[in-house]
């Protein structure tokens, strides 16, 4: 027998019903689809925000989606390097990684952060498994190359980033098996090279490679800004590939947003339907983006 509802409870029930009505079409659209979520070190925020994120991931899986979490950890790596007295150097927006640094990177990313996120998801009732690119030869990396403009000669010069890598190949069979077992993969962006060398891979780039290899329905890049901003610092809600290239060329997109956009372009060209850059500090940002009409960041499509 249904329980009777007090009159003052009816408005809340109606609100919940309306939310479900709005969310249902979106749930149906993403049913059994792969969604890759890059969870940045800056977006991790405090414990409450982390628990909200974990709750979102569990709800996605329970709603019929196949979420894959790729996490960063730049601030956490920086703090650990500081404790150990290892100085950090950045070139072209990426951390120069020597042998001592890559050991710390792997310890923090594939160790403490990875298992912490697995724990948060487990606490919310999910079944997560923590992996890195090394496991099952999931991701093979090659040494990353970057060039910068020399201010004196005005020529492009290659910079050596040490043991910083970029994905060369993704073996999707490992992830297919994990998803078939109805587990939620939580991936740390550390990978082997063909020579067995360990490489530190940018988490955005790693997530883009995973999403592209699995032809994900969506790639969500959670960061610490609302999305892509115009020159007046206002959010741009929708972009195409052509728009992205134009905004980089005219200087609207600058700094650390450029490599994120480059990852978006790569993922879309590999078959991902759409990519979203959004603020991971917003409560339940993932659900707002996927299960509401208005979304929560900048949506990027091919056309």
Mind listing the pLDDT tens digit for each residue in 208-233?
Answer: 999 999 999 999 999 888 999 999 99
Mind listing the pLDDT tens digit for each residue in 87-103?
Answer: 878 776 677 888 999 99
pLDDT class for 4, splitting at 50, 70, 90? very low
Region of residue 24 (left: phi > 0; alpha: psi -120 to 50; beta: else): alpha
pLDDT of residue 2: 40
The answer to whether 91 is annotated as binding is no
The answer to whether 95 is annotated as binding is yes
What CATH code would you report for 30-301? Answer: 3.40.1160.10
Closest by Cα among 123, 110, 114 to 52? 123
The answer to whether 111 is annotated as binding is no
Ranges of each domain in the chain: 30-301
pLDDT class for 296, splitting at 50, 70, 90? confident
Mind listing the pLDDT tens digit for each residue in 228-253?
Answer: 999 999 999 999 999 999 999 999 99
Least-confidence region, from 25-29, 58-62, 114-118, 133-137: 25-29
Token pair, residue 204, equals 């955005």
Distance CA 119, CA 73 (A): 16
């Amino acid at each position: 027998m249904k329980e009777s509802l007090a009159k003052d409870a009816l408005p809340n029930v109606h609100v919940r019903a309306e939310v479900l009505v709005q969310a249902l079409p979106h749930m149906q659209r993403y049913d059994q689809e792969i969604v890759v979520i890059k969870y940045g070190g800056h977006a991790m925020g405090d414990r409450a925000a982390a628990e909200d994120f974990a709750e979102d991931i569990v709800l996605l899986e329970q709603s019929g989606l196949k979420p894959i979490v790729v996490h960063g950890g730049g601030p956490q790596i920086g703090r650990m390097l500081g404790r150990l007295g290892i100085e950090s150097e950045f070139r072209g927006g990426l951390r120069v990684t020597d042998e001592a640094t890559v050991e710390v990177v792997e310890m923090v990313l594939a160790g403490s952060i990875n298992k912490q996120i697995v724990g948060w998801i487990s606490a919310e009732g999910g079944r997560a498994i923590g992996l890195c690119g090394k496991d099952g030869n999931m991701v093979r990396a090659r040494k990353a190359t970057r060039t910068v403009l020399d201010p004196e000669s005005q020529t492009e010069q290659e910079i050596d980033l040490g043991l910083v890598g970029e994905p060369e190949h993704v073996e999707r069979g490992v992830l297919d098996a994990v998803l078939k077992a109805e587990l939620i993969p939580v991936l740390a962006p550390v990978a082997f090279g063909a020579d067995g060398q360990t490489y530190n891979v940018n988490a955005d780039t790693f997530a883009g490679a995973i999403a592209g290899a699995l032809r994900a329905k969506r790639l969500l890049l959670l960061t610490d800004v609302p999305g892509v901003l115009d020159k007046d610092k206002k959010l741009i809600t929708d972009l195409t590939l052509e728009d992205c290239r134009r905004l980089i060329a005219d200087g609207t997109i600058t700094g650390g947003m450029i490599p994120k956009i480059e990852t978006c372009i790569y993922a879309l060209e590999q078959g991902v339907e759409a990519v979203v850059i959004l603020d991971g500090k917003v409560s339940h940002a993932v659900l707002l983006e996927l299960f509401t009409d208005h979304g929560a960041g900048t949506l990027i499509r091919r056309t």
